[in-house]
Amino acid sequence: MPIVLLLLGIVLVIAGWRGKENELFSIIKNALFPSNLNIKNNFLVWAGAIFFIGIFGYIKSIRPIVIGIIILIYIVLIISMNKQGELKNLLNLNQLRLKGENKNG
């Protein structure tokens, strides 16, 4: 946890140094509370679902079931990203980076 807070502090200091804190807060606000209120795109809904199901993981007798459900949630999240084209754009960006590294190296 201290590492997460340290990284968050570094991001905030860098954003403040560059004068981009309003842009950073806008990005965070749109990620947490989207304006279109689409449940599939809402980070808090997905994080809440994973957290709520993860709580039941402390019960040893149902832990394998909970792990399976959490894996299922991740698969659904990846599939929904793929339908929206976000995953395709992310993969294309990585391919462009690799092609650029091959030309320079």
pLDDT value at residue 44: 75
Same domain assignment for residues 51 and 102: yes
pTM: 0.47
Same domain assignment for residues 49 and 91: yes
Same domain assignment for residues 42 and 71: yes
Q: Helices 21-32 and 43-55 meet at what angle, rounded to 10?
A: 60
Q: Helices 21-32 and 2-18 meet at what angle, rounded to 10?
A: 130
Same domain assignment for residues 56 and 81: yes
92, 87, 86: which is closest to 100 by C-alpha?
92
pLDDT band at 21 (very low <50, low <70, confident <90, very high): confident
Report the pLDDT averaged over residues 20-46: 74
Which residue would you say has higher pLDDT here, 24 or 89? 24
- Taking the C-alpha atoms of residue 31 and residue 27, their distance in angstroms, rounded to an integer, is 6
Looking at every residue in the chain, the average pLDDT score rounds to: 77
Same domain assignment for residues 49 and 73: yes
Same domain assignment for residues 7 and 53: no
- Taking the C-alpha atoms of residue 84 and residue 77, their distance in angstroms, rounded to an integer, is 11
Q: Give the residue numbers spanning the domain of 11.
A: 1-32
Same domain assignment for residues 26 and 74: no
Domains contained in the chain, number? 2
